[in-house]
Structure 1
Amino acid sequence: MGVKLEVFRMSLYLTFPVVMFWISNQAEWFEDYVVQRKRELWPREKEGQRQELEEFKQKIRKQKEERLLQAAQQSS
């Protein structure tokens, strides 16, 4: 009984990773599941969204520069 159980466990330990590797490397599965899931989680950015983000960054930089300038003028 013990030897049969060990043989079963060893075959399971060897078979499971090989099967998972084989399944995950199927091109159709990768295209259907992984790429689709990636697009759901991180949709492509819109052009207006990128421009809005850049404008916001510029605004923050300008405010930071103004604060630094005011701090420098007050300390002088």
Structure 2
Amino acid sequence: MGVKIEMFRMMLYLSFPVTMFWISNQAEYFEEYIVKRKREIFPPDEESRRKELENFKERMRIQREQRILKKMSEN
């Protein structure tokens, strides 16, 4: 009886990861869950968002430069 149980356990240990790998790599699953979720998190570029981000970067650059100049003038 011990050999049969060991064979069952071996088949279970091997079949579970293989089955999960096979299921997770189905094209329908990938398209339905992964790609849609990625588009929710990272929406396609919009011109208004891009301009807003560029303006924010410019403000941060100016603030950083002002801080550096202020520190240099104090020394």
Give yes or no for TM over 0.5.
yes
2:17 aligned with 1:17, yes or no?
A: yes
State the AA in 1 paired with 2:16. F
Q: Where in structure 2 are the equivalents of 1:23-38 lying within 5 Å?
A: 23-38=23-38
Q: Where in structure 2 are the equivalents of 1:22-61 lying within 5 Å?
A: 22-61=22-61
State the AA in 1 paired with 2:20. M
**Shift, 1:44, TM fit:** 2.7
Identify unmatched segments of 5+ residues in structure 2: none
User: TM-score scaled to structure 2, two decimals?
Assistant: 0.79
Identify unmatched segments of 5+ residues in structure 1: none
Matched length: 75
Give the superposed CA RMSD: 1.7
Runs in 1 of length 4+ with deviation above 4 angstroms?
Answer: none
**Shift, 1:45, TM fit:** 3.8
Task: Give identity over the alignment, percent.
Answer: 59
Show the counterpart of 2:68. Answer: 68
User: TM-score scaled to structure 1, two decimals?
Assistant: 0.78
Q: Distance in 2 between matches of 1:37 and 1:56?
A: 26
Q: Distance in 2 between matches of 1:22 and 1:70?
A: 60
State the AA in 2 paired with 1:39. R
